[in-house]
Amino acid sequence: MKILIVDSSVPFRLLLRACLSEVPDTEIVGVAGDGQQALDLIRRLQPDLITLNMKMPGMDGIEILQLMRDNYPDIKVVVVACRTETDAEKTLQAMELGAFDFILKPDDKVADTKAYLQLKLLPKIKQARSLKSVSKRVHIPVKVASTPVNHLPEKSNRIPASGVFKADIVAIGSSTGGPAALQEVLSQLPENFAVPIVVTQHMPKAFVVSLASRLNKNSSLVCTVAEQGQVLQLGHIYMAPGDVHMKIIRRGSTLVAQLEAGARVNHAIPSVDVTYESLVALSPAIKTLAVVLTGMGNDGAKGAKLLSEKGNHVVIQNEESSVVWGMAGETFRNGAANEVLPLADISKSLLRHVA
């Protein structure tokens, strides 16, 4: 795999080169310190993967991706982002423009920066080897007002005579490629969507805040980052914060977000499995529609299986429309999936299974 390093910092470029030169079956074909130099090297060297910093003189990472989207859609891009709100927003924009994934630059708390970068980059590089084009464009509809519903029924019995599954809550899990996929699905739902939606996306805290803001702006539903003890309202989206796990518990006739610090589960915090398994505990009184979207690894597969065994309904994104068919693929292989759908059809499934 041919790799091009693009970063405005000379010391960081040297550090990345030292890290990546030790990765088997890779070749560092060039380094660039500004946007124009990066584009020149892309045209001349045709790399397989680029590590891309957002802040550069002359032309920033977003401008580079905009030019690459039409001309070089098969080149994988991993954004190397700073831990700031500005970079969080730009990174999400970069992923909408086709960036494959991102990592955070090490901060002062990281003792061994080289080991940290290798730990973060190696799985991305391994996954990128098997990918085709990651260029994705998301349609963003105009909000349409309707009457919201803001209470949970006293009793849950949402399976009518037809036998069609009817959910009390939608729980979505996603990782690599998730921000664009979430926007595609959630932007298609009406404001009076009749159950709460909880989302567990693998992302640092600042990035979750930025993503929630973007989803709130670009969908008809209210989207916020979940808070401890928050009552879940129908027609609202609640995102797990990026530094704690999110469980769902029941208090009387309401569902409540319970946030808990803890160890990583499936290498992730928040973990999709933690959220799903909390909903298993509420079954069958509360019926869950679990949705597993694109993402690296297997987080969510175990919890989806347990939900399925309790009579809940599991929808997964198909391989063809996924950036990475890891989480959804594992859910398919363990037999938990009730439906395997292209990304464009998942919102239709949600509407079909929500009264």
Residue 194 structure tokens: 């009749």
Omega of the bond leading into 160 within 30 degrees of 0 (cis): no
Domains of the chain, CATH where assigned:
2-128 (3.40.50.2300), 169-352 (3.40.50.180)
Question: Which residues neighbour 130 within 8 Å (Cβ) at sequence distance 6 or greater?
Answer: none
Q: Are 169 and 289 in contact (CB under 8 A)?
A: yes
**C-alpha closest to that of 245 among 220, 267, 265:** 265
The pLDDT, as a whole number, for residue 147 is 31
Report d(CA 289, CA 185) in Å as an integer: 14
Low-confidence ranges of the chain (pLDDT < 70): 132-163, 355
Catalytic residue among 299, 313, 321, 347: 299
The pLDDT, as a whole number, for residue 138 is 38
> Which run of H or E residues covers position 51?
strand 49-53
Q: Is 168 a catalytic residue?
A: no
Q: Which residue has the tokens 């401008």?
A: 63
- Backbone angles phi and psi of 330, in degrees to 5: -65, -35
Q: Is 299 a catalytic residue?
A: yes
Reduce the DSSP state of residue 246 to 3 states and report it. Answer: strand
Length of the chain: 355
Residue 283 structure tokens: 């079954």
Q: Give Cα 232 to chain centroid, integer Å.
A: 21
> Which run of H or E residues covers position 103?
strand 101-104
Q: Are 173 and 290 in contact (CB under 8 A)?
A: yes
Report d(CA 41, CA 12) in Å as an integer: 19
Residue 117 structure tokens: 């970068």
> Which run of H or E residues covers position 13?
helix 10-20
**C-alpha closest to that of 200 among 334, 304, 128:** 304
The pLDDT, as a whole number, for residue 156 is 35
Catalytic residue among 8, 87, 202, 219: 202
pTM: 0.86
Q: Is 267 a catalytic residue?
A: no
Catalytic residue among 8, 156, 174, 175: 175
Residue 225 structure tokens: 């980052």
pLDDT digit string, tens, across residues 225-271: 999 999 999 999 999 999 999 999 999 999 999 999 999 999 999 99
Report d(CA 170, CA 121) in Å as an integer: 32
Q: Are 317 and 94 in contact (CB under 8 A)?
A: no
The pLDDT, as a whole number, for residue 163 is 60
**C-alpha closest to that of 224 among 244, 197, 243:** 197
The pLDDT, as a whole number, for residue 132 is 58
> Residue 245 forms beta bridges with which residues?
260
83-86 LR contacts (CB < 8 Å, sep 24+): 83/107, 83/204, 83/206, 84/206, 85/206, 85/209, 85/210
pLDDT digit string, tens, across residues 69-103: 889 999 999 999 998 888 999 999 999 899 999 99
